[in-house]
């Protein structure tokens, strides 16, 4: 930057420099398109092998097979049903591969329209022989049905060379014709499926529900759609400078006109810089798309990742219309017909292929956030338009992770630690119970039947409090038996003999990367989410407080000098303090716990601190905030860049929840009610931002007041710690 002025030694001069930038087009694109099917998952004819993007498919017979990944990946669903035939042989044999998804990606034998035999793959593209003994049904009419009702990772099935005979064969591939007690039911070598009937969902003609997809190939910035050139940008800035600066100053003055502790104010303010960083992008149609963070030359971890952005509480209050665009993407372009949400959305925003696990915490947190956005906006029509998709999403979560309807997540469920928990635990089950609570409240408002959700909520709360509470905190019961998913032990064959005992011990512990009996700082994160969203108390209050106290007691370290962290120690190290992600104060730490357990993440520090404050443990919460901000005091780290996986990391905007943690201030635009539940006494002043205006709010001698600085806030009633009070408007 060159500024053509001269300053004499010791002199001073103030220079106002206006920066503008204009990037009309980029080559930034993320995500695999959700291809629109020309028919069901089975296409019009058998596959000839592996499809584009698929691992090598091996050991099928001849040149053709059923491969429901081909041609459009794991997103398509459907069935392929044989004509009715008589069971004349004792055995049916066939080759099978693909996903291990019982009931969803499988082959079934139907007798009297009931499934009497079923088989699924092993999460492998290698086809292996399967034999059914059907002798007890001999002489009856039957049908075979190949089913693909699965989406996401391994959401497909491979089948080939189905034969019926009176004896079993070690390798029936060489049987190429019927006769002598052998019937080939289908070898899939023809140009079509013959008399077998392929069925599937109708083709979706609309680009995306809601009709606001981006049609360009690459991301185009919002300002490039608003201004034709950099000259227009500069002219707008010049002509609007006084107005823009005045509004910015009004926000600044209102925000800093507060009596809250300076470390809290600093933590919130410093992380608002994330909103002006490359972490947050905006499309030409105004919709947000975000990274988790950003690196020097690129974004870091794409797609408005739902399980990371769960923590961020700033945009929903400061720019609620923009926050709602994230919900629009999650429940439309990123949600399949099955209810599966892809937790990383495509850029430009468009329907995306469901090629991986859904994230349990991200998807369930999104349901709570729909409730939050409704209460912040007061827009019940918006909620009504979202409700069918919300139900679809929640029903998917129930059947995918709680198929036995216990009220807890039991099947392996993906989460923000980039792993799958096996068995019920507090972390993601707290999200489940929060989502059920949100769905109940939304459904009641829309006069819908939510009795199933009410039953699951009651079961889940009881299970959590009686089966997953050790008397001090909630934990995980690692489970591999009694699930639809099958645990596959580590294979010793690829290692030397010296590793056999080690791997044997690991397999006895069960799946790697679990937290088990550990005290997890995110252990009841979903209950914090529920409270900041306005859903209130879900689980026993004393147990919740005990869990928070345990997190502070065991996981907060005023000094990390004696703590060994082989993962990413630069987040917090040496004599610095910090909140560890997990500890095992009562033993039981696995040989391979989840890989981030020894780290310190500021976003988790802030959510725990806010949660402690909400429960009245203000000093403990402030200890955590101070330790965090001491690490980012400008001497070692940038005070405006709390990094994690990248700079300006979104999770750190959990800090905005500290305002609500200390003051209990929340405005409900549906009921037009201002709530205050102060944890800092009867005299305080704090910042408030709503969908329609912002200003200052607080208590003076226990009486509520509001000082509006911009816009309006319609308030019909005020509740201070549960009691109705009269509001003073300054």
Residue 483: both structure tokens together = 């699930």
Q: Which residues contact 407 (CB under 8 A, 6 or more apart)?
A: 432, 433, 436, 456, 457, 458, 459, 460, 461, 462, 463, 464
Concatenated DSSP letters of 511-565: SSS--TT-EETTTTHHHHHHHHTT----S-HHHHHHHHHHHHHHHEES-BTT---
Beta-sheet strand order (sheet of 717-720): 666-668, 673-676, 717-720, 723-725
The pLDDT score that the predictor gives to residue 494 is 60
Extended strands (E) in 74-229: 78-81, 85-86, 91-98, 105-111, 114-120, 124-133, 141-148, 157-165, 182-186, 197-199
Which sequence spans correspond to the domains of the chain?
A: 66-199, 240-486+503-663, 666-729
The pLDDT score that the predictor gives to residue 40 is 67
Whose tokens are 């290698």? That residue is 126
Same fold, 240-486+503-663 and 666-729: no
The pLDDT score that the predictor gives to residue 149 is 86
Please tell me the distance from the alpha carbon of residue 603 to that of residue 309, in angstroms, as a whole number: 10
pLDDT exceeds cutoff 70 at 315 = yes
Segment 688-711, tens digit of pLDDT: 999 999 999 999 999 999 999 999
The pLDDT score that the predictor gives to residue 3 is 59
Segment 597-654, tens digit of pLDDT: 999 999 999 999 999 999 999 999 999 999 999 999 999 999 999 999 899 999 999 9
CATH architecture assigned to 240-486+503-663: Alpha/alpha barrel (1.50)
Q: Is pLDDT larger for residue 237 or for residue 274?
A: 274
Segment 54-63, tens digit of pLDDT: 888 998 998 9
182, 164 in Cβ contact below 8 A?
A: yes
Is 502 strand, coil or helix?
Answer: helix
CA 494-566-597 angle, to 5 degrees, is 90
Segment 354-390, tens digit of pLDDT: 778 899 999 999 999 999 999 999 999 999 999 999 9
Q: Which residues contact 516 (CB under 8 A, 6 or more apart)?
A: 475, 476, 478, 584, 588, 589, 590, 593
Taking alpha carbons only, the member of 628, 620, 610, 557 closest to residue 267 is 628
pLDDT exceeds cutoff 80 at 522 = yes
Please tell me the distance from the alpha carbon of residue 132 to that of residue 109, in angstroms, as a whole number: 9
The pLDDT score that the predictor gives to residue 207 is 46
pLDDT exceeds cutoff 60 at 425 = yes
Confidence class for position 203, pLDDT limits 50, 70, 90: very low
Q: Is pLDDT larger for residue 270 or for residue 500?
A: 270
Confidence class for position 721, pLDDT limits 50, 70, 90: very high
- Cα-based distances in Å from 279 to 21, 272, 275, 294, 297: 17, 12, 7, 6, 12
426, 463 in Cβ contact below 8 A?
A: no
Confidence class for position 341, pLDDT limits 50, 70, 90: very high
Give the domain 66-199 fold. Answer: Jelly Rolls (2.60.120)
100, 154 in Cβ contact below 8 A?
A: yes
436, 456 in Cβ contact below 8 A?
A: yes
The pLDDT score that the predictor gives to residue 198 is 86
Confidence class for position 37, pLDDT limits 50, 70, 90: very low
Please tell me the distance from the alpha carbon of residue 350 to that of residue 436, in angstroms, as a whole number: 28
156, 148 in Cβ contact below 8 A?
A: yes
- Cα-based distances in Å from 593 to 252, 431, 473: 44, 22, 18
If one counts every other C-beta atom within 10 angstroms of the C-beta of residue 558, the result is: 12
600, 578 in Cβ contact below 8 A?
A: yes
pLDDT exceeds cutoff 90 at 317 = yes
If one counts every other C-beta atom within 10 angstroms of the C-beta of residue 46, the result is: 26
The pLDDT score that the predictor gives to residue 201 is 64
Whose tokens are 């601190």? That residue is 609
Is 324 strand, coil or helix?
Answer: helix
Lowest average pLDDT, out of 64-73, 206-215, 255-264, 565-574, goes to 206-215
Mean pLDDT of 208-234: 77
Please tell me the distance from the alpha carbon of residue 1 to that of residue 14, in angstroms, as a whole number: 16
The pLDDT score that the predictor gives to residue 388 is 95
Mean pLDDT of 57-83: 88
The pLDDT score that the predictor gives to residue 496 is 64
pLDDT exceeds cutoff 60 at 39 = no
Mean pLDDT of the chain: 91
Mean pLDDT of 296-325: 95
Percent of the chain with pLDDT strictly greater than 70: 95
Q: Which residues contact 311 (CB under 8 A, 6 or more apart)?
A: 603, 604, 606, 607, 650, 651, 653, 654
Mean pLDDT of 152-168: 89
Lowest average pLDDT, out of 75-89, 240-254, 495-509, goes to 495-509
Segment 558-588, tens digit of pLDDT: 999 999 988 899 999 999 999 999 999 999 9
380, 445 in Cβ contact below 8 A?
A: yes
The pLDDT score that the predictor gives to residue 172 is 75
562, 501 in Cβ contact below 8 A?
A: no
366, 331 in Cβ contact below 8 A?
A: yes
Segment 229-264, tens digit of pLDDT: 888 988 998 999 999 999 999 999 999 999 999 999
Extended strands (E) in 602-683: 666-668, 673-676
The pLDDT score that the predictor gives to residue 26 is 81
What DSSP element (H or E) covers 700?
Answer: strand 693-700
The pLDDT score that the predictor gives to residue 508 is 86
Percent of the chain with pLDDT strictly greater than 90: 72
624, 609 in Cβ contact below 8 A?
A: yes
pLDDT exceeds cutoff 70 at 165 = yes
* DSSP state letter for 82: P
In CATH terms, is domain 666-729 a member of 1.20.950?
no
Confidence class for position 21, pLDDT limits 50, 70, 90: low
Mean pLDDT of 275-280: 95
pLDDT exceeds cutoff 80 at 214 = no
């Amino acid at each position: 930057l060159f500024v053509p002025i001269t300053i004499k030694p010791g002199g001073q001069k103030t220079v106002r420099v206006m920066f503008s930038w204009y990037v009309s087009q980029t080559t930034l694109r993320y995500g695999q398109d959700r291809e629109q099917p020309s028919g069901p998952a089975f296409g019009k004819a058998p596959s000839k092998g592996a499809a584009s993007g698929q691992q090598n498919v091996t050991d099928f017979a001849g040149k053709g097979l059923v491969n429901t990944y081909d041609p459009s990946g794991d997103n398509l669903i459907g069935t392929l049903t044989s004509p009715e035939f008589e069971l004349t042989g004792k055995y049916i044999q066939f080759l099978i591969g693909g996903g291990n998804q019982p009931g969803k990606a499988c082959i079934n034998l139907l007798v009297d329209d009931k499934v009497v035999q079923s088989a699924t793959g092993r999460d492998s593209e290698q086809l292996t022989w399967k034999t059914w003994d059907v002798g007890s049904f001999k002489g009856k009419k039957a049908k075979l049905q190949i089913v693909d009702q699965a989406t996401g990772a391994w959401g497909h099935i491979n089948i080939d060379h189905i034969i019926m005979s009176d004896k079993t064969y070690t390798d029936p591939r060489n049987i190429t014709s019927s006769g002598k007690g052998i019937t080939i039911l289908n070898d899939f070598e023809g140009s079509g499926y013959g008399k077998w009937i392929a069925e599937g969902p109708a083709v979706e003609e609309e680009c995306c529900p809601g009709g606001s997809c981006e049609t360009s190939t690459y991301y185009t910035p919002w300002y490039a759609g608003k201004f034709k050139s950099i000259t227009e940008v500069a002219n707008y800035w010049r002509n609007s400078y006084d107005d823009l600066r005045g509004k910015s100053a009004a926000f600044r003055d209102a925000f800093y006109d507060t009596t809250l502790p300076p470390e809290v104010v600093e933590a919130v303010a410093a992380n608002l810089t994330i909103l002006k960083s490359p972490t947050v992008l905006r499309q030409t149609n105004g919709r947000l798309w975000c990274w988790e963070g950003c690196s020097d030359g690129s974004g870091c971890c794409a797609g408005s990742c739902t399980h990371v952005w769960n923590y961020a509480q700033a945009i929903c209050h400061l720019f609620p219309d923009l926050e709602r665009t994230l919900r629009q993407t999650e429940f439309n372009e990123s949600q399949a017909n099955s209810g599966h949400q892809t937790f990383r959305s495509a850029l430009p925003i468009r329907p995306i292929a469901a090629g991986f696990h859904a994230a349990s915490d991200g998807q369930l947190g999104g349901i709570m956030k729909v409730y939050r956005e409704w209460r912040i906006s007061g827009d019940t029509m918006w909620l009504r338009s979202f409700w069918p998709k919300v139900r679809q999403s929640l029903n998917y979560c129930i059947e995918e992770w709680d198929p036995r309807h216990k009220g807890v997540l039991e099947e392996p469920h993906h989460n923000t630690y980039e792993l799958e928990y096996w068995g019920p635990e507090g972390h993601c089950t707290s999200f489940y119970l929060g989502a059920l609570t949100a769905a109940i409240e939304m459904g009641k408002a829309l006069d819908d039947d939510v009795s199933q959700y009410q039953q699951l909520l009651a079961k889940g709360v009881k299970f959590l409090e009686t089966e997953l509470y050790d008397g001090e905190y909630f934990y995980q019961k690692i489970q591999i038996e009694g699930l639809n998913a099958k645990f596959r032990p580590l294979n010793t064959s690829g290692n030397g003999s010296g590793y056999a005992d080690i791997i044997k011990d690991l397999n006895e512990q069960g799946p790697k990367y679990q937290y088990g009996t550990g005290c997890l700082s995110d252990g009841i994160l979903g209950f914090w989410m529920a409270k900041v969203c306005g859903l209130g108390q879900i689980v026993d209050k004393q147990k919740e407080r005990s869990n928070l106290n345990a997190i502070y007691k065991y996981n907060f370290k005023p000094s990390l000098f004696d703590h060994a962290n082989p993962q990413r120690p630069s987040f917090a190290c040496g004599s610095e303090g910090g909140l560890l992600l997990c500890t095992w104060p009562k033993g039981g730490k696995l040989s391979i716990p989840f890989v981030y357990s020894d780290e310190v993440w500021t976003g988790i520090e802030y959510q725990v601190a806010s949660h402690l404050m909400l429960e009245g443990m203000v000093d403990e919460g402030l200890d955590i905030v101070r330790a965090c901000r001491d690490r980012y005091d400008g001497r070692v780290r940038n005070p405006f860049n709390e990094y994690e996986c990248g700079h300006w990391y979104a999770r750190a905007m959990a800090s905005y929840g500290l305002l609500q943690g200390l003051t209990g201030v929340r405005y409900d635009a549906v009921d037009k009610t201002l709530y205050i539940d102060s944890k800092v006494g009867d005299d305080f002043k704090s910042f408030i931002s709503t969908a329609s205006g912002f200003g200052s709010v607080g208590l003076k001698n226990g009486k509520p007041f509001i000082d509006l600085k911009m816009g309006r806030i319609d308030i019909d009633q005020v509740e201070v710690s549960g009691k109705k009070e009269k509001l003073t408007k300054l």
